[in-house]
Chains A and B, each alone.
Chain A
Amino acid sequence: MSEQFEQGVAVLRDQIDARISSYLTSCVHCGICAEACLFYTETNDPRYTPIHKVEPLKKLWQAENTFWGKLGKSLGLIKPLTESDFADWEQLVYDSCTLCGRCSMVCPVGNDITYMIRKIREGFSVAGYAPDGMKEATKRALTIGSPMGVTFKTVQAALAHVEKDTGLKIPIDRQNAEYMTLFSSMEIVNFPEYIESIAKIFDAAGVSWTISSQAFEATNSGIQIGNKEAAAELVGRVVKAAEGLGIKYVVSPECGHAYTAIRWEGPNLIGRPYDFEVVHILELLDKLKAEGRIKLEGKDDTPMTLHDPCQIVRRGGVVDPPRNLLHSVADHFTEMTDHGVMNWCCGGGGGVSANERAEELRLKSFDRKKHQLEELGVNTMVTACANCRIILEEGLEHHEMDTEVISLTELLAEHLVSGKTPN
């Protein structure tokens, strides 16, 4: 048994709190969670049953926290966790779970299975059992500042284009700005239109904002792989930059897990509350609209539907703002049957999109979204997560579907009444 594996088991043991103990005590192995998981519903492979993915954690808990486990262990009837358990479960824990949280919404005894899988990743990553793609992304995030290797120079190049196209000056490192905006690397590289939209909307609303040269990256690979130290370091960079600039609000971009990382997990990772608040871009836009600081004109009569990013909606609680905003610019907005907190994941969250090994399974799981779209008969899907957007576009292309995926923020910017509103 290697030292690294032992450290991983120790970390796994440290995750067993009252929540996990109550979950493992309550689970009656009904398997209903399987029906909520797109990796099971699209493959019918029982191994993808969410609660089955927590088996290594359950094995450890049983051996050390239950009467029969302790008895069996002392009599040599129960085998301790081995490296082969970790090796066998690595793909289940990382490739076939997007941490979407849908299983946690249907468990009859209320188990937050996603929370347990997220915690298992802590032990697995310390033990070295994590996908290479995610390890590399985390390494790049720590050393370069972005999982995709984007540096601030790349950001500056993207901002120069935005400034040229909009005629607006993008504020960098502005002291005491009200809002500090983060971006995901994917937005900087693949969707600079998002940055342009933000610039136009904030200008129209008279928002005092800035981008930090020290912490522009919103994503957090440490959360996805389950490396607490890496996750804390990445959150810490944002906190240091925001508090240094005297920022009131940090704006989480159209990225699902970035919101979970900075909004919900961040303070717990660094061990203290922030001196600022975190707001998701959709919450902010909804607020600006409600206050009359942004005015929208014209309604799109194209039939549209909304893909809810799991970490923003189900795991993040930003449920109504995207609907309010989309209704204000779309005449024919129709919900999918399963929507809001019961939406189906794109299949690429929780680091799955950074895990090349999982690609085939991910594309197979996209059958669920394909079915949802076909059932609805709508060819324009609005979303608010750059990762969802890429994954959805890949899935649509793979299935040769003629569906357009657009960003909600970008859609709003298209309907923006230009000209500043008094602050």
Chain B
Amino acid sequence: MIGEFIDGPLWYFSLTAFVIGVVWRIVSIVRAGVRPDLSIARGSAGRGAMRTIFSRFVPERTVTTRSRLQLIAGYMFHVGLLILLFFAQPHIDFIAERITGLSWPAVPHWVFIVAAEFAFAGLILLWLHRVLNPVTRLLSDMDDHIGSILVFLVMLTGCLALAQSHEALRLIHLFLAEVFLIYFPFSKLMHAFTFVMSRGYTGATMGRKGVNA
């Protein structure tokens, strides 16, 4: 009964909430508007925006030493998570069946295991850094912790459900993923989309000035 609810209505509700919520948040930001810049541009805002959207994937040398742990853990977590999310066979099957009807090749099992280990290690290190480092401890709020814990639980149950031999584990994983989807638009998890906007706005401003940001 509960399983059917998680597998059916709750899934569609959470997906709808996620899509509408994300679109709503993005539209709200764009609607806040940016005042036109009347100064004469030295360079191209468009090229500046594109440049910064991609260049910030690589950290500046000035922070690579003292922020080494965070940077490495950040890459481990994000790359690992993307592989788990989009290249694990059960996810590809699920997406094909429930959303797009399209499928693509999955990564081999050993890649999945390595990606999972990277993602877990990265997330745990990032969270430990968050609670132990004086700077991040000062900055962090409830949203940061809820986001981290939710992602951790979704990944943990996902790995436990991997064998797909226990329906209960699969349902728990799906339920947590649904909670995650519903929480997503109301949280800092939105950075997964809005980082393009924040990088773009800064890159455009700096690009007009002729600065590679």
Contacts and interface: CB of A to CB of B under 8 A. Distances in A.
A341 B212 contact: yes
Interface in A100-131: 102, 104-112, 115
A418 B58 CA distance: 48
For chain A, give the interface size range.
35 or more
Interface stretch (B4-12, B36-44, B101-109): B36-44
The binding surface of chain A is classed by DSSP as: helix
B212 to A, nearest CB: 7
Contacts of B30: 18
A73 to B, nearest CB: 15
Interface residues of B, number: 60
Contact of B70 (A22, A25, A30, A109): A30
The binding surface of chain B is classed by DSSP as: helix
B38 A267 contact: yes
A22 B138 contact: no
Contact of A66 (B31, B67, B186): B186
Contacts of B191: 25-28, 109
B46 interface: no
B98 interface: no
B15 to A, nearest CB: 19
Interface string A15-48: 0111111110111111110111000110000110
A66 B194 CA distance: 15
A18 B210 contact: no
A310 to B, nearest CB: 11
Interface string A260-281: 0001111110011100011000
Contacts of A35: 62-63, 66-67
A67 B187 CA distance: 9
Interface stretch (B85-93, B139-147, B167-175): B139-147
Contacts of A104: 202, 213
A138 to B, nearest CB: 22
Interface in B32-74: 32-35, 37-40, 42-43, 52-53, 56, 59-63, 66-67, 70-71, 74
Contact of B62 (A19, A26, A106, A272): A106
A317 B211 contact: yes
B201 A22 contact: yes
B197 A29 contact: no
B56 A110 contact: yes
B195 interface: yes
A109 B34 contact: no
Contacts of A19: 34, 198, 201-202, 205
A66 B186 CA distance: 7
A22 B212 CA distance: 20
23 contacts: A18-B201, A19-B34, A21-B28, A26-B191, A29-B136, A29-B144, A31-B133, A40-B135, A46-B134, A49-B139, A52-B139, A68-B143, A108-B56, A109-B195, A110-B56, A110-B198, A110-B199, A110-B202, A111-B202, A115-B202, A267-B39, A278-B40, A314-B211
Closest 5 CB pairs of A and B: A110-B199, A317-B210, A267-B38, A31-B135, A317-B209
Given A27-B188, A110-B56, A342-B60, 12 more contacts: A28-B144, A35-B67, A49-B138, A110-B53, A110-B200, A115-B202, A264-B209, A272-B38, A315-B211, A317-B211, A341-B212, A342-B62
